[in-house]
Chains A and B, each alone.
Chain A
């Protein structure tokens, strides 16, 4: 088994090197669910003004509470959106080796040309997307066979079987129908499908939620191994902060459709600046701990009618008068670090607001 090192120790870096071009640039991206309910128009602002760059050979993690827009964001990045989810602004640009592509400007991008080999996307709950009436073997033949240079069907199957073994799955799963596999086995089959072609860019949405910790560790190690082997990039979404801590070079924290903090994983864990990130990190459960805990107070914001100003203000212990009306800008706050919070970056508080810094916290 290959030895893997600390996050950030690879070629990936917290501060992007200007000479290396990002594989993915997301700029001011906005994607809303545009709903027409009996003639009443409503917008759910699931992705609101997000900019992210991901470098070659980098693992970028996205964390955030349930319903904060993580899946909506990466669906949009993966070019896998369907109405009512609509891109209303911004751009998504990929710069693969020898092929660049703009997803939402101009003619519809030819995604089939890049799927699987350049870009693969493991959807949330994707264990349920396998065709129920076809054996698992058929899925591998359909999706992966033409991207793997194997001289024969048999050689191809050997590649697949070896790959399944890395995920702790026996060759028998190839003969199975999806419903005959446990939840965690199906989840691993979809991970195998998405990684067997060793794509340049892997997007994964909660890919290990149904796995026991022993298998999860093995699966994460495999994903990282494949990523390092060819220096590909990985965009990894999970609400499990322990997984982020062990896997990701950099992290972006989402709250209510916006990115609120970004930085190198170690910096973010050592000194979270945004109050929401602070909550995420301080509330991490640990075995052996029976002290009564509480979830984050208050209710998650309604993205069809998000709170004005800082979207976190109704739940923020540090909220001030200014937070109620002004959106905190997402600004650079140290090396490779960005944050959107008036308390963390007081110089971003605009002038001329009465009692701007008076506390309003409950």
Chain B
């Protein structure tokens, strides 16, 4: 089996407090996993706030170099990507989606521009009708169309629509891997459902693998194939998502599952009553 992505004993140390900062943070510690080529999956990363999830995502996207270990995409060490050409070729295959769609779009720029720019940059198309056709095709995959989006500014669209446009933009280059860092935190339950349903369609119909970083255990259970749970930079538990979430073994994973707030509390009483947070060490 060849690997699509190989994360091999990766670690990351940051200096905090600026260049002269004395405090060093070990953000990621010895993380390894691999996604196989030709077997698209939704690989979920769950974990403590500050446990290194976004750092891991940035390293996979080659925007931050690892301090230790290596990340290989389709056999190539991503740290070795230096030239602009190699970088473009890599980004065509690996695309990001970020948490906050309001930040991802410049408020003064019409949203269709992003789609057109992506088509020009990664797919080398320049004819206007072809650029528009590609944008429209990507938008249709997320349940929108260019006609609905054309000429509109970010604030004229809802958060959920914007997030779907961000996903459409990520689809234009035809990536093999999407790294989505908390893509649904900002949207309501209903839109959250349509977005994660879309992820399943991307996996099943377009063969895209997705690294899905989230705090939402319910959608993680609903869509993931495999899962890793992180705490303080380390993977504390890994495995089949349903197995892990149904019966977590590591104490932190158990704590995580136990802390999920239930909507039934409105009737049965609030879970905020037994917060035993004193057992936690601060991040």
Binding site for B on A (CB under 8 A): 1, 3-7, 64-67, 125, 128, 135, 164-165, 168-170, 172, 175-177, 180-185, 188, 206, 209-218, 220-221, 224, 239-247, 265-266, 268-270, 279-281, 283-290, 292-296, 300, 304
Whether the Cβ atoms of B21 and A239 lie closer than 8 Å is no
Task: Determine the chain B residues whose CB is within 8 A of the CB of A177 once the complex forms.
Answer: 17-18
Whether the Cβ atoms of A245 and B277 lie closer than 8 Å is no
Cβ-closest chain A residue relative to B275? A221
CB distance from A62 to the nearest CB of B (A): 12
Whether the Cβ atoms of A217 and B193 lie closer than 8 Å is no
- The answer to whether B222 has its CB under 8 Å from any CB of chain A is yes
Whether the Cβ atoms of A66 and B191 lie closer than 8 Å is yes
By CB atoms of chain A within 10 A, which of B16, B18, B100, B270 has the most?
A: B270
Whether the Cβ atoms of A5 and B273 lie closer than 8 Å is yes
Cα A301 to Cα B263 with chains together (Å): 27
5 sample A-B contacts, Cβ–Cβ < 8 Å, listed by A number: A1-B277, A65-B188, A212-B215, A221-B272, A283-B190
Whether the Cβ atoms of A206 and B277 lie closer than 8 Å is no
Whether the Cβ atoms of A285 and B187 lie closer than 8 Å is no
Whether the Cβ atoms of B262 and A175 lie closer than 8 Å is no
Stretch at the interface among B43-51, B76-84, B127-135: B43-51
CB distance from B83 to the nearest CB of A (A): 27
Whether the Cβ atoms of B267 and A128 lie closer than 8 Å is no
The B170-209 residues at the A interface (CB cut-off 8 A) are: 182, 185-194, 197
What mask results when residues 213 to 238 of chain B are scored 1 for a CB within 8 Å of chain A, else 0? 00111110110000000000000000
- List 12 additional contacts besides A125-B103, A184-B49; criterion CB under 8 Å: A65-B188, A66-B158, A168-B282, A180-B16, A209-B185, A215-B49, A246-B272, A284-B189, A285-B192, A287-B217, A293-B197, A300-B158
Whether the Cβ atoms of B257 and A287 lie closer than 8 Å is yes
Whether the Cβ atoms of B159 and A66 lie closer than 8 Å is yes
Whether the Cβ atoms of B267 and A1 lie closer than 8 Å is no
Instruction: Check A224/B260 contact, CB under 8 A, given A288-B221, A300-B160.
Output: no
Cα A246 to Cα B191 with chains together (Å): 22
- The answer to whether B265 has its CB under 8 Å from any CB of chain A is yes
Contact partner of B49 (CB less than 8 A), chosen from A7, A212, A290, is A212
- The answer to whether B145 has its CB under 8 Å from any CB of chain A is no
- The answer to whether B256 has its CB under 8 Å from any CB of chain A is yes
- The answer to whether B54 has its CB under 8 Å from any CB of chain A is yes
Task: Determine the chain B residues whose CB is within 8 A of the CB of A170 once the complex forms.
Answer: 282-283
- The answer to whether B102 has its CB under 8 Å from any CB of chain A is yes
